[in-house]
Amino acid sequence: MPRPHVLLSAAVSLDGCLDDTGEGRLLLSGAEDFDRVDAIRAASDAILVGAGTLRADRPRLLVNSQERRAGRVADGRPAYPLKVTVSGSGELDPGDPFWTTGGERLVYTTDRGAAVARARLGDAARVVALGAAVDWAALLDDLGGRGVRRLMVEGGARVHTQLLRLGLADELRLAVAPLVVGEPDAPRLFGPGAYPGGPRGRMRVLGSEPVGDVIVTRYAPTAPGTTDGVTAADRHWLRLACDLAADCPPSETAFSVGAVVVAADGTELARGHSREGGDPVVHAEEAALAKLPGDDPRLATATVYSSLEPCAHRASRPKPCARLIVDAGVRRVVTAWREPDTFVPGADGIGVLAQAGVVVAEVPELAAAAILPNRHLVTPTVS
């Protein structure tokens, strides 16, 4: 089953806060925007919030418009979208209106949290244990298996931060309210840490409009214009590179990456992956290129597919992979994921390649697959 389309939806102050530190919920957007949010809920199969938001705001997360509910029913869907929450602890208050209003409810939790949640909630929700920790990719796979095609995520900070960092968000809808919270401890929409693309990975703006006194902007969390010229064959080879990454011997100190070199006529010339052949420092692109003679005439028109952006700096070898690719005479690279700042802050392999005239295409929809075997190196810790 395919994973659902994931829309992150939030309202923030001008200083990026989701709320203030006072009692009760800070009202950031107005009636007009709430109505838009209601319409998006009505178009969603499920709405997800973190347990922190349930505790702080006690939201009901309903479709408020009777007309929209009727429209859903007429389409053969339940009147209300499935309500989903995520909790590590399982400490959920059955008195929250989340559990007593609207349609079906689902809790994703840990094995430990499941017993607590079941005891507290009884029949009010279905409780799904995802193991020792909540793995977001597994959670989305499970929702996909339940027929959820469109998932709306309404916060809070920790949930939004993880989904964006893991490259699992397809779209961000942000309402910016004309006020400043000004409190250092107020929750921020996105917490500090490494994000796909790092500070250089600008999102693409899909549209922006005033709604009442808030400005609503929709973003695609990917770099601009980089999917130009990407074909179905490119996706096939890049997917293979991601599969190779998934098969790397795991490491706490290096990324797991796969790479494939493909000739212009579509024949595979070589493939490689991180730590291949027991070499603890060999990189995927390096391993693949090493299998070809340096003067192979097919390299000039070949494409290198790499799950991760080729590296720009290396301590363990004289040349980083971006330089090896340039020196091999390769003119095109397709990659899924920009290097996060985990090991080398500000690494810019794409910049090195571009400067040497190599055309680099990115396929952001495969970023999640490229990140998956590296999630322990980029996932924020949740206590």
Binding partner selected for residue 146 from Zn ion, ligand NAP, none, CB under the kind-specific 5 to 8 Å limit: none
Binding partner selected for residue 157 from ligand NAP, Zn ion, none, CB under the kind-specific 5 to 8 Å limit: ligand NAP
Q: What is the DSSP string of 117-145?
A: HHHHHGGGSEEEE-SSS--HHHHHHHHHH
- Residue 282 as a binder of Zn ion (CB under 5 A): the answer is no
- Residue 167 as a binder of ligand NAP (CB under 6 A): the answer is no
Which tokens hold the place of 106? 């689902």
Residue 296 near residue 331, CB atoms below 8 Å: no
Site for ligand NAP in 131-160 (CB under 6 A): 133-134, 154-159
Helices (H) and strands (E) in the chain, counts: 13, 14
- Residue 4 as a binder of ligand NAP (CB under 6 A): the answer is no
Residue 218 to residue 49: CA distance in whole angstroms: 19
Among 6, 7, 8, 28, binds ligand NAP (CB under 6 A): 28
- Residue 91 as a binder of ligand NAP (CB under 6 A): the answer is yes
- Residue 287 as a binder of Zn ion (CB under 5 A): the answer is no
- Shortest distance, position 253 Cβ to ligand NAP, whole Å: 23
Give whichever of 25 and 68 is closer to ligand NAP, judged by the CB atom: 25
Give the contacts of 263 (CB within 8 A, at least 6 positions apart): 269, 298, 301, 302
Per DSSP, what are the bridge partners of residue 50? Answer: 86
Give whichever of 54 and 321 is closer to Zn ion, judged by the CB atom: 321
Draw the binding track, 305-324, toward Zn ion (x: CB under 5 A; -: no contact): ------x---------x---
Binding partner selected for residue 311 from ligand NAP, Zn ion, none, CB under the kind-specific 5 to 8 Å limit: Zn ion
Give the contacts of 51 (CB within 8 A, at least 6 positions apart): 85, 86, 87, 88, 89, 91, 92
Output helix, strand, coil percentages for the chain, rounded to the nearest 5. Answer: 35, 20, 45
Angle between helices 31-42 and 66-74 in degrees, nearest 10: 10
Binding residues vs Zn ion (CB under 5 A): 283, 311, 321
Binding residues vs ligand NAP (CB under 6 A): 10-11, 18-19, 25, 28, 49-53, 56-57, 86-89, 91, 133-134, 154-159, 162, 187, 382
